[in-house]
């Protein structure tokens, strides 16, 4: 069918022509640096490397935090609810960052919290320099109910936003504005108190208060690649004691609380510490080989996943 000349065949509006070359020239460096950071985070994760993990955390604080002030926020959750997202072509690095945050959460759980979030990285680095004697261990009986507080904050914040459409509530429920240095004296005072409290209770905000962490925790219930466990984990408590996030309860790993820090995964594979390997080794005392030689055959059959 021939269309009338003045109906469908009009020339494109000049304002709608997208010059991708110019857009990439403007944003190419940001996209490349973001891709490099994500690559480093993934390598550190897959190699279970402690030095690479701390390098990732340091770069997160310096680059994503202080240089770019780029963190996922409860404001982004608001944006999803109102479908008011940034324009894709002007926000390529942000979409790479946010897309990775969501996809990595579905694949591995709260990977974003464990390696990418600049505030979480800052408190994890703080954790390494604070003397152990200053630590106050939250009793296990209190830890579980306290970890639910962040879900309450998420629900209350979302309800407030949906009722009022006021996004500025974010300033009172998350401290990420600190990287942009845009706080009032009251906000800075509250942040100072929070950081002092974090000296005594490790990762206080992330474990108990962060509504974005709660959002990612909910998303983590869909985690595809979960942490493996041995049958011995049902009685062994070594990993439970090691986990600084209160994410292990007996044989189970709570995907909602786990930030994929690798500590328990390194123990899982440690043939000198994990009882699974030690028991297997003891059962074959006459063998003169290594521990690995002793357990090679039954390994695949004994692997379990958390429910
Ligand atoms: S819990 Fe919140 S502050 Fe902590 S790492 Fe996750 S998103 Fe960042
Ligand atoms: S040390 Fe080994 S057996 Fe014990 S909880 Fe950790 S992975 Fe399980
Ligand atoms: S120790 Fe294990 S369960 Fe705990 S946060 Fe790290 S990876 Fe998750």
The per-residue pLDDT for 141 is: 87
Q: Considering only 30-39, 222-231, 290-299, which range has the smallest mean pLDDT? A: 290-299
| Most confident by average pLDDT, 139-143, 266-270, 290-294 | 266-270
What integer pLDDT is reported at residue 64 of this predicted model?
A: 97
Q: How far apart are the first and last CA of the chain?
A: 60
| Domain identity same for 180 and 300 | no
Which of 122, 210, 216, 218 for mutating ligand 1's site (highest number of atoms within 8 Å of CB)? 210
Q: How far is the CA of 240 from the centre of ligand 2 (A)?
A: 8
Ligand nearest to the CA of 72: 1
Same domain, yes or no: 95 and 170 = yes
Q: Judge whether 249 lies within some domain.
A: no
Q: Is there a domain that residue 74 lies in?
A: yes
Q: Residue 295 — very low, low, confident or very high, per pLDDT cuts 50/70/90?
A: very low
Give yes or no for residue 227 CB within 6 A of ligand 2: no
32-36, 130-134, 265-269: range with lowest mean pLDDT:
130-134
Q: Is the CB of 239 under 6 A from ligand 2?
A: yes
Asked whether residue 253 is domain-assigned, the answer is no
Q: How far is CA 70 from CA 60, 129, 138, in A?
A: 9, 25, 31
* Residue 11: predicted pLDDT: 53
Are 32 and 138 in a shared domain? yes
Asked if pLDDT for residue 22 goes beyond 50, the answer is yes
In 3D space, the residue among 182, 178, 156 whose CA is nearest the CA of residue 169 turns out to be 156
Does residue 177 contact residue 187 with C-beta atoms inside 8 Å?
A: yes
Question: Is residue 227 classed exposed, middle or buried when 0-12, 13-18 and 19+ CB atoms within 10 A define those classes?
Answer: buried
Give the number of C-alpha atoms closer than 13 A to the C-alpha of residue 45, restricted to the C-beta side: 22
Cα 254 to middle of ligand 3, angstroms:
9
| Ligand 2 atom showing the smallest separation from residue 277 Cα | 2
Per-residue pLDDT band for 200 (boundaries 50, 70, 90) equals: very high
The reply to whether 292 and 171 lie within a common domain is no
How does residue 25 score in pLDDT terms, banded at 50, 70 and 90? confident
Domain count, the chain: 2
Question: Is residue 286 domain-resident?
Answer: yes
Are 157 and 294 in a shared domain? no
The range of the structural domain enclosing residue 155 comes to: 18-226
Looking at the chain, how many residues does it have?
A: 307
Instruction: Report the separation in Å between the CA atom of 236 and the middle of ligand 2, taken as the mean of its atom positions.
Output: 6
Is the residue at 220 inside a domain? yes
Pocket flag, ligand 2, residue 278 (CB < 6 Å) = no
Q: Using CA positions, which residue lies closest to atom 8 of ligand 2?
A: 233
The whole-number pLDDT of residue 3 equals 45
Angle at 133 between CA 127 and CA 135, to 5 degrees: 50
**Interval 212-235: pLDDT, tens:** 999 999 999 999 999 999 999 999
Residues 171 and 291 in one domain: no
Place of tokens 């008011």: 84
Indicate the residue among 165, 199, 226 that finishes a domain: 226
Give the global pTM: 0.86
Confidence tier at 283 by pLDDT (50, 70, 90): confident
Both 190 and 282 in a single domain? no
pLDDT of 161-186, one tens digit each?
999 999 999 999 999 999 998 889 99
Q: What is the pLDDT of residue 306?
A: 41
Check whether 302 has a pLDDT greater than 60.
Answer: no
Residue 249 parent element (H or E):
strand 248-249
Residue 279 has a pLDDT of 87
Span from the CA of 236 to the centroid of ligand 1 (angstroms): 29
Residue 179 lies in a domain: yes
Rounded to whole angstroms, the Cα distance separating 162 from 294 reads 59
Domain membership of residue 247 (yes or no) is: no
Residue 298 has a pLDDT of: 42
Query: Which ligand has its closest atom nearest to the C-alpha of 274?
Result: 2
pLDDT digits (tens, 9 = 90+) for 53-109: 999 999 999 999 999 999 999 999 999 999 999 999 999 999 999 999 999 999 999
Gap from CA of 245 to ligand 3 centroid (Å) = 7
User: Mean pLDDT across the chain, nearest whole number?
Assistant: 88
39 with 115, same domain: the answer is: yes
Contacts of 103 by beta carbon, 8 Å cutoff, 6+ apart: none
Helix axes 149-164, 140-147, angle to 10 degrees: 10
**171 and 288 share one domain:** no
If you compute the radius of gyration of the chain from its CA atoms, what whole number of angstroms results? 24
Calculate mean pLDDT across residues 228-250: 93
Q: Is 206 in the pocket of ligand 1 (CB under 6 A)?
A: yes
Residues 174 and 291 in one domain: no
pLDDT band at 288 (very low <50, low <70, confident <90, very high): very low
39 and 150 housed in the same domain: yes
CA angle (251, 255, 256) in 5-degree steps: 125
| Residue 240 placed within a domain | no
Pocket test for ligand 3, best of 45, 46, 120, 253 (most atoms within 8 A of CB): 253
Round to whole Å and give the CA distance between 89 and 18: 8
| Same domain as 215, residue 134 | yes
Residue 1 in this model has a pLDDT that exceeds 50: no
User: With pLDDT > 90 as the criterion, what percentage of the chain qualifies?
Assistant: 75
């Amino acid at each position: 069918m021939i269309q009338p000349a003045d109906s469908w065949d009009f020339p494109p509006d000049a304002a709608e022509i997208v010059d991708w070359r110019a857009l990439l020239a403007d944003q190419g460096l940001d996209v490349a640096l973001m891709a490099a950071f994500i690559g480093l985070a993934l390598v550190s994760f897959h190699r279970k490397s402690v030095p690479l993990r701390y390098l990732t955390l340091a770069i997160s604080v310096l680059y994503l935090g202080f240089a770019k002030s780029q963190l996922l926020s409860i404001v982004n959750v608001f944006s999803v609810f109102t479908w008011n997202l940034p324009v894709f072509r002007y926000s390529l690095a942000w979409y790479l960052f946010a897309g990775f945050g969501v996809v990595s959460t579905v694949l591995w759980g709260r990977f974003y919290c464990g390696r990418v979030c600049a505030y979480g990285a800052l408190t994890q680095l703080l954790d390494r320099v604070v003397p152990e004697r200053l630590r106050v261990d939250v009793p296990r009986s209190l830890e579980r109910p306290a970890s639910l507080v962040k879900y309450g904050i998420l629900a209350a914040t979302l309800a407030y936003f949906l009722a009022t459409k006021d996004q500025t509530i974010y300033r009172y429920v998350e401290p990420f504005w600190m990287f942009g240095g845009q706080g009032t004296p009251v906000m800075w005072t509250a942040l100072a108190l929070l950081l002092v409290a974090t000296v005594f209770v490790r990762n206080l905000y992330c474990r108990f208060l962060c509504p974005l962490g709660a959002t990612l925790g909910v998303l983590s219930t869909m985690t595809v690649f979960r942490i493996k466990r041995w049958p011995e984990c049902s009685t062994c408590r070594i990993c439970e004691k090691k986990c600084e996030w209160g994410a292990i309860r007996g044989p189970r790993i709570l995907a909602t609380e786990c930030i994929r820090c690798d500590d328990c995964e390194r123990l899982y594979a440690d043939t000198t510490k994990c009882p699974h390997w030690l028991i297997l080794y003891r059962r074959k005392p006459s063998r003169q080989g290594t521990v690995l030689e002793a357990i090679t055959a039954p390994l695949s059959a004994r692997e379990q996943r958390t429910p």
